[in-house]
Amino acid sequence: MFKVLISDPLSTFGIQKLLDAPDVEVVQQTNLSPSDLLAVIGEYDALLVRSQTQVTAEVLAAGKRLKAVGRAGVGVDNIDIDAATQSGIVVINAPDGNTISTAEHSFAMLMAVARNIPQAHKKLTDGTWDRKSFQGVELNNKVLGVIGFGRIGSEVAKRAKAFHMQVLAYDPFLTEERAQKMGVTMATVDQIVTQADFITVHTPLTKETRHLLSTNEFAKMKQGVRVINCARGGIIDEKALYEAILSGKVAGAAFDVFEQEPPTDNPLIGLPQMIVTPHLGASTVEAQENVAIDVSEEILKVLRGQPFKNAVNLPSVPAHVMERVQPYFTLAEKLGHFLAQVSVGSVQEISVTYSGELTEIDISPLTRTILKGVLSFHLGEEVNYVNAPILAKSREISVNEQKSSQTKGFTNLIMVSVKTTQETRMVAGTRLNGYGARIVKIDDFSIDVAPEGFLLFVHHHDRPGVIGRVGTILGSNDVNIATMQVGRRDVGGEAIMMLAVDKPVSRDILDQIGELAEIKSVTEIDL
Ligand SMILES: NC(=O)c1ccc[n+]([C@@H]2O[C@H](COP(=O)([O-])OP(=O)(O)OC[C@H]3O[C@@H](n4cnc5c(N)ncnc54)[C@H](O)[C@@H]3O)[C@@H](O)[C@H]2O)c1
Ligand SMILES: O=C(O)CC[C@@H](O)C(=O)O
């Protein structure tokens, strides 16, 4: 008999399959303190949560029998995925069930912020008939910027089209073909920021999307813009928004999610231009039923040893395969992550060639890891080794994998190229005996760089003094260079520099380097 603990309120209808399963005993305890949870988790084979229960490394370590953690929803920010993976615990989520509810909530917020509905309601219920203070704006013919065009963003766009809005969309995986099919215009974040009357964000919260809309972006926005965040707190910088509302630049904002939840002493919440809901995007009868059904069915499959689809972390790989491929996992993921950071445009194709001793082993786990490296830069922690190929397929990214006898002098070599809507970029890496992982080729430049930490990738014209000028800018801004490697094709031709630096480099310093006459581009890479 399997024991399943449900520690957050879930729809009873949704979990019926679990309740009816003859081989499962379900315990519902939705008011456990963290220490209560630690005390009881050792008895259970599976844990089902929504977003309240914090499934920490400590909880997972105490869950000696745990085989699976199910999240009735999309975001898995309350679950320590790495710790689960290390303990061999499968983490399941329900990515589709609350899409429509959250899209509808976002649209409700958009309409409410356009017409000041909550503010007018409050005034009237407080006893004042005020018809002057709440003049709104129409949606008709207005420009809506949608940042993050995945499940929810694209549903919001469909609704906006029905209201005759012009939709500008940005997503690193959006293709021209899909944009046309959806009747939206592909745009950059900068174009959205400068042209939109309303901006709504629907990305995960990742290092890249944190404060995606901040002081600089607010400064460029139209006077009277309105912004909506029903995705994750922190995508819109709350401090910068506060200032932009006070200055009159932002006429209204609608938030369902906050940098700290529940928000305490958050000055935004008292502002009359701000409308707020307490993370209610997925709070509909339908969504809660859908996500509970999806996650219950998947948990049953995991417990019964049947195939399942929505795992967000690593399943076990046979020991003999793992022994051979494991040393290459880090290199593979970093090559993917490197390309995600240097390439421009929507990814269309990822090709991997394995040479040398890698031709003798099952390399499919490595290709999945490379995909994870490419995709996780944009999609965040939802991507893992299990779901990366499915996510690539759903985004129409074709993946090619081949083995080659051409070792180019290395005992092992992984060459990865990414074709985007704008360019094709290549990186190759190897594991050198005794020295660990190395990047040995970038595009057609040979180089020798350890793929770790903060790197500055500079593409420049090979001219006397350029290296010194870059070093001077970094030095005068207190950025220490740990190592530097240069690669060039011909004397005086195009060249690249890879500098390992001791700390992140600010946008301003990158701009100073980018303004040097010899520099073609400069990109900061975090590996
Ligand atoms: N408020 C709620 O209750 C609620 C409910 C469900 C989901 N969510 C949140 O909504 C968000 C979207 O969920 P979804 O199901 O649509 O996810 P999704 O994975 O289908 O879509 C997210 C999209 O964001 C894109 N993206 C990543 N980085 C980007 C960047 N820098 N710029 C632009 N786009 C970028 C990705 O390519 C992807 O297409 C997530 O943060 C999710 O956690 C909130
Ligand atoms: O209501 C919830 O459980 C949170 C839903 C949402 O944020 C999600 O990530 O699915």
Across the 527 residues of the chain, what is the mean pLDDT of every consecutive 10-residue run? 97 96 97 97 98 96 96 93 83 94 98 98 98 97 97 97 98 92 97 98 93 98 98 98 98 97 95 98 97 96 81 64 80 96 94 93 88 90 74 91 88 96 95 90 93 94 93 94 89 90 92 94 93
Q: How far apart, in Å, do the first and last CA atoms of the chain sit?
A: 44
Q: Mutation test of ligand 2: which of 51, 81, 229 has the most ligand atoms closer than 8 Å to its C-beta?
A: 51
Residue 373: per-residue pLDDT: 94
pTM value? 0.80
Residue 322: per-residue pLDDT: 65
Residue 378: per-residue pLDDT: 85
| Residues whose beta carbon lies within 6 Å of some atom of ligand 1 | 74-75, 95, 98-99, 102, 147-153, 170-173, 202-204, 208-209, 230-232, 256-257, 279, 281-282, 378-379
- Angle between the N-to-C axes of helices 466-476 and 507-514, in degrees from 0 to 180, rounded to the nearest 10: 160
Q: Mutation test of ligand 1: which of 105, 202, 209, 286 has the most ligand atoms closer than 8 Å to its C-beta?
A: 202
| Tokens encoding 21 | 């399963």
Note whether 79 and 59 are within 8 A (CB): no
Residue 316: per-residue pLDDT: 47
Q: Whose CA is nearest to atom 1 of ligand 2?
A: 282
Alpha carbon of 442 to ligand 1 centroid (Å): 31
SS3 content of the chain, % helix, strand, coil (to 5): 35, 25, 40
Residue 488: per-residue pLDDT: 86
Q: Which residues contact 338 (CB under 8 A, 6 or more apart)?
A: 373, 427, 439, 451, 525, 527
Catalytic amino acids?
Answer: 232, 261, 279
Q: Which residues contact 103 (CB under 8 A, 6 or more apart)?
A: 152, 155, 156, 159
Q: Whose CA is nearest to atom 9 of ligand 1?
A: 231
- Which ligand is closest in space to the CA of residue 292? 2
Domains of the chain: 2-97+286-303 (3.40.50.720), 99-276 (3.40.50.720), 325-425+432-438 (3.30.1330.90), 453-527 (3.30.70.260)
Q: Which residues contact 260 (CB under 8 A, 6 or more apart)?
A: 233, 266
Q: Whose CA is nearest to atom 38 of ligand 1?
A: 150
The interface pTM score, or ipTM, of the predicted complex is 0.99
Residue 318: per-residue pLDDT: 56
Alpha carbon of 32 to ligand 2 centroid (Å): 19
Residue 371: per-residue pLDDT: 95
Q: Which helix (H) or strand (E) holds 200?
A: strand 198-201
Pairing of strands 143-147, 494-501: unpaired
Residue 228 carries which side chain, given as an amino acid letter?
A: I
Alpha carbon of 418 to ligand 2 centroid (Å): 33
Q: Which residue has the tokens 């949704």?
A: 14
Alpha carbon of 147 to ligand 1 centroid (Å): 9
Q: How far is CA 412 from CA 203, 365, 415, 450, 452, in A?
A: 37, 16, 10, 16, 19
Residue 337 carries which side chain, given as an amino acid letter?
A: H
